[in-house]
Amino acid sequence: MARLNLLLLAALVACAVSLVTSRYQARQLFVELERGQTLARGYDVEYGQLQLEQSTWAMPARIEKIAREQLKMQLPPPGRVHVLGQSPR
Amino acid sequence: MTTATLSRPATAPKLPRLRASVLFSMLLALFALLAARSLYLQWFDNRFLQEQGSSRYSRDLEVPAHRGRVLDRFGAPLAISTPVKAIWAWPDKVEATPAQRQALAAALDLEPDALAARLSAGDEFVYLKRSVAPEVAARVAALGIKGVHEDDEYRRYYPDGEVMSHVLGFTGDGDVGQEGIELAQQSWLGGAPGSRRVIINRRGEVVEDVASIRSPREGRDLALSIDSRLQYLAYRELKAAVDVNKAKAGSLVILDTKTGEILALANWPSYNPNNHSRVPRDRMRNRALTDIFEPGSTLKPFTIAAALESGKVQPSTIIDTAPGTLTIGAATIHDAHREGALTVEQVIQKSSNVGAAKIALSLPAEKMWQTLSGSGFGAPPKTGFPGEVSGRLRPAKTWRPIEQATIAYGHGIAVNLVQLARAYTIFATDGEVKPVTLFKEAGPVGGAPVVKPATARAVRRMLELVTLPGGTAPKAQVPGYRVAGKTGTAHKLEAGGYVNKYVSSFVGFAPVSNPRLVVAVMIDEPTGSQYYGGSVAAPVFSSVMGAALRLLGVPTDAPLNQPFLPPQDAVPEET
């Protein structure tokens, strides 16, 4: 009887210690999760801002201006266009 | 009792019975008091203590939810919300040295005087600056001025600015939609912030999630039918045309004939939605949907379609338009240029008012009304845009003969530009009117049949003649593509009478062999040297249609080296 009680006591102590450690670990992991989520939110915001920046740089008006003024591009006159895959008319 | 006394050890002193029981009951009463008190605190008056307890370790945190993005049909962002800071203060609690004030003004990009004025507002809460970039807010926080605080808020950005403003609208305080799609789709786009209870440690770090009080609902993204490349093109060409013709306003709509999607919808004058606080309301109107006008000759094809449907005329039937006037009761209809006998095809090609009126008068009013109503006139186009109007199409029973004659060439009826563009889908398809939408569709959308396929094809042929030699709009031609369309030049109605101000329009589609796009152009009050739809609106149609078909990679259906017609071949059209 006394031996069984001792065994149970040992098991109880072991359980208690493992509860404490797992609780501690859970908190640690949770803090990490929290940090990760904050980071993810931050990246989300940054992604939105980068998208904005990209569409600002890629504005058709800006591209057209650069193409016409800096690169001196122009639309080819109709006579200089050949359509591939069609018999010449 | 006697047995107990007997069992007691003989050495125990004998206590007076009364004293023992008094002491015993006093102790019992005290214990009962304690038990009652603890029972009371534990079960009945527990709120205060529980609040006090939990306030030492738990916090309710707000979980922010952002507003959904608005995207174009290819996923390019048209409207994005991004977090910013609002800097605010209680002026009477601000403690700052003059140097700190200087630094604060510099950080916020405010005049020092303006800042001082805000900070002398007394005990009221004041915003020093709203929609501040997070980096700027961090610099302000680094100054460490007492009484100056910051709040999180969202700000919406519209990268396309004035090009897209009428469709999108804008949001106001709290990122809530106030105009346009932002308003109409508020419940879809808007997010609702949530709230959760957490346990914090002594450093204020969150160590455990206790409960989610309210889960946040993120705003959802919304894909529009707009193609931002075509939208830019439409806006650029429209703006140029309004400038050249010194016009008051203008609108342009591009529709996909297969799905009824609005690929572009541009208006001038426009405004920048990123900074809309001082823009007059007048500029914010999405004229293509909220303004009506008398369409003029762009309505003639519907009269002809009704006549072909009834079997009263064939495309080659001769209509005598001599001597260029037609008197009905007290009113007389004029043709600007006299023609003699015209075929029905030529009535469209040369846009003869007398011809259209004569054809209309040979029809029952009910038949004409059916074709017009079936094409969508007189009913809102149901694009999902707030404030769209239904135009004016009176019931056929109330038409007098003169009205039936004028409606034949687009007077006495009022439409908006989207309705007009949509109605032309019956000629661009085989007689079906497509439902229009501002939202992206997954595939081709079926339409409601309005006229027989043979009728639609016959009118399509007539509309192509308009852009060929002898028509009113050779300037609508696009190299490499067969185009079809109709010009309109209508006197404006002011204070009950027609005045010498015009609305010039052109509605057409291309390529004729397999129509892909409908483009409708409306220029309001051109005051330059030209005012005919064929010279004001048709060139806009040509440049927009040409560039749009190239961008979409639509195969050509006409020779590329087809020479442009000299403009003097154009027939001036009726007004």
In the listed set B180, B200, B223, which residue is the last one of a domain according to the structure?
A: B223
Residues contacting B198, CB < 8 A, separation 6+: B58, B59, B61, B206, B207, B208, B209, B210
User: How many CB atoms are located within 10 Å of the residue B545 CB?
Assistant: 29
Higher pLDDT, B553 or B518: B518
Residue of A nearest to B164 (CA): A59
Cα B465 to Cα B347: distance, rounded to the nearest angstrom: 11
Provide the pLDDT for residue B1.
45
Q: Hey, what are B41's tokens? A: 């605190």
With cut-offs at 50, 70 and 90, classify the pLDDT of residue B442.
confident
Q: How far does the CA of residue B196 sit from the closest CA of chain A (Å)? A: 13
Write out the residues of chain B at the interface with chain A, using a CB-CB cutoff of 8 A: 66, 69, 76-77, 80-83, 157, 159-160, 163, 205-209, 228-229, 232-233, 236, 479-480, 555-556, 559-562
pLDDT greater than 50 at residue A88 = no
Outline where B253-364 has alpha helix (H): 281-284, 287-290, 300-310, 344-349, 353-361
In 3D space, the residue among B81, B97, B83, B84 whose CA is nearest the CA of residue B127 turns out to be B84
Cα B10 to Cα B113: distance, rounded to the nearest angstrom: 99
Residue of B nearest to A54 (CA): B159
Q: Hey, what are B451's tokens? A: 């006229």
Provide the pLDDT for residue B565.
52
Chain B environment of A55 (Cβ under 8 Å): 76-77, 159-160
Provide the pLDDT for residue B275.
86
Looking at the fold, whether B204 and B235 belong to one and the same domain comes out as: no
Q: Are B271 and B324 in contact (CB under 8 A)?
A: no
Cα B545 to Cα B233: distance, rounded to the nearest angstrom: 10
Crossing angle between the packed helical segments B353-361 and B300-310, to the nearest 10 degrees: 40
Q: The domain containing residue B84 runs over which residues?
A: 62-92+102-223
Chain B environment of A60 (Cβ under 8 Å): 228-229, 232-233
pLDDT greater than 90 at residue B497 = no
Provide the pLDDT for residue B573.
60
Cα B414 to Cα B393: distance, rounded to the nearest angstrom: 7
| Amino acid found at B330 | A
Which of B159, B208, B560 lies at the smallest CB-CB distance from A78? B560
Q: State the catalytic residues of B.
A: 297
Residue of B nearest to A29 (CA): B207
Residues contacting A64, CB < 8 A, separation 6+: none
Q: Are B170 and B276 in contact (CB under 8 A)?
A: yes
Looking at the fold, whether B480 and B439 belong to one and the same domain comes out as: yes
Cα A29 to Cα B122: distance, rounded to the nearest angstrom: 48
Looking at the fold, whether B392 and B332 belong to one and the same domain comes out as: yes
Cα B248 to Cα B242: distance, rounded to the nearest angstrom: 7
Q: Are B128 and B109 in contact (CB under 8 A)?
A: no
Q: DSSP letters of A65-86?
A: HIIIIIS---PPPGGG---TTS
Q: pLDDT of B113-172, one tens digit each? A: 888 888 877 667 788 888 888 888 888 888 888 888 888 888 899 998 899 999 999 998
Cβ–Cβ of A86/B555 closer than 8 Å? Answer: yes
Tell me, rounded to whole angstroms, the distance of Cα B507 from its chain centroid: 22
Which of B157, B205, B207 lies at the smallest CB-CB distance from A52? B157
Tell me, rounded to whole angstroms, the distance of Cα B448 from its chain centroid: 25
Looking at the fold, whether B559 and B434 belong to one and the same domain comes out as: yes
Cβ–Cβ of A81/B157 closer than 8 Å? Answer: no
Angle at A28 between CA A23 and CA A33, to 5 degrees: 120
Residue with tokens 């404490």: A20
Cβ–Cβ of A51/B77 closer than 8 Å? Answer: yes
Classify the C-alpha dihedral B378-B379-B383-B389 as positive or negative.
positive
Q: pLDDT of A15-66, one tens digit each? A: 999 999 999 998 889 889 889 988 998 898 889 889 889 988 988 889 999 9
Looking at the fold, whether B156 and B190 belong to one and the same domain comes out as: yes
Is B504 part of any domain?
Answer: yes
Cα B289 to Cα B267: distance, rounded to the nearest angstrom: 10
Mean pLDDT across B80-90: 86
With cut-offs at 50, 70 and 90, classify the pLDDT of residue B574.
low
| Amino acid found at B146 | K
Cα B526 to Cα B565: distance, rounded to the nearest angstrom: 23
Provide the pLDDT for residue B575.
57
Looking at the fold, whether B336 and B306 belong to one and the same domain comes out as: yes
Cβ–Cβ of B206/A34 closer than 8 Å? Answer: yes
Residue of A nearest to B480 (CA): A78
Looking at the fold, whether B426 and B351 belong to one and the same domain comes out as: yes
Mean pLDDT of chain B: 88
Residue of A nearest to B555 (CA): A83
pLDDT greater than 50 at residue B26 = yes
Provide the domain count of chain B: 2
Is B5 part of any domain?
Answer: no
Cα B225 to Cα B217: distance, rounded to the nearest angstrom: 25
Cα B99 to Cα B128: distance, rounded to the nearest angstrom: 17
B115-129, B169-183, B213-227: the lowest-pLDDT one: B115-129
- The structure's pTM equals 0.82
CATH number of the CATH domain containing B172: 3.90.1310.10
- Render the burial of A19-52: b for 16+ CB within 10 Å, e for the rest: eeeeeeeebeebeeebeeeeeeeeeeeeebbebb
Looking at the fold, whether B462 and B406 belong to one and the same domain comes out as: yes
Provide the pLDDT for residue B9.
57
Which of A30, A59, A89 lies at the smallest CB-CB distance from B208? A30
Which of A48, A82, A89 lies at the smallest CB-CB distance from B82? A48
Looking at the fold, whether B152 and B244 belong to one and the same domain comes out as: no
Cβ–Cβ of A79/B561 closer than 8 Å? Answer: yes
pLDDT greater than 50 at residue B526 = yes
Looking at the fold, whether B155 and B217 belong to one and the same domain comes out as: yes
Chain B environment of A26 (Cβ under 8 Å): 208
Cβ–Cβ of B205/A31 closer than 8 Å? Answer: yes
B70-79, B84-93, B384-393, B537-546: the lowest-pLDDT one: B84-93
With cut-offs at 50, 70 and 90, classify the pLDDT of residue B106.
confident
Write out the residues of chain A at the interface with chain B, using a CB-CB cutoff of 8 A: 26-27, 30-31, 34, 45, 48-49, 51-52, 55-56, 59-61, 78-79, 81-83, 86, 89
Q: Hey, what are B334's tokens? A: 């004029």
Q: Are B517 and B234 in contact (CB under 8 A)?
A: no
> Cis (ω within 30 of 0) for the bond into B511?
yes
Which residue in B206, B236, B274, B513 has the most chain A C-beta atoms within 10 A of its own C-beta, making it the best mutation to test that interface? B206
Q: DSSP letters of B381-401?
A: ---S-TT----B---GGG--H
Looking at the fold, whether B200 and B250 belong to one and the same domain comes out as: no
Residues found in chain B: 575
pLDDT greater than 70 at residue B568 = no
Cα B519 to Cα B571: distance, rounded to the nearest angstrom: 22
Is B283 part of any domain?
Answer: no
In 3D space, the residue among B178, B189, B131 whose CA is nearest the CA of residue B281 turns out to be B178
Q: What are phi and psi of B331, to 5 degrees?
A: -105, 150
Looking at the fold, whether B379 and B402 belong to one and the same domain comes out as: yes
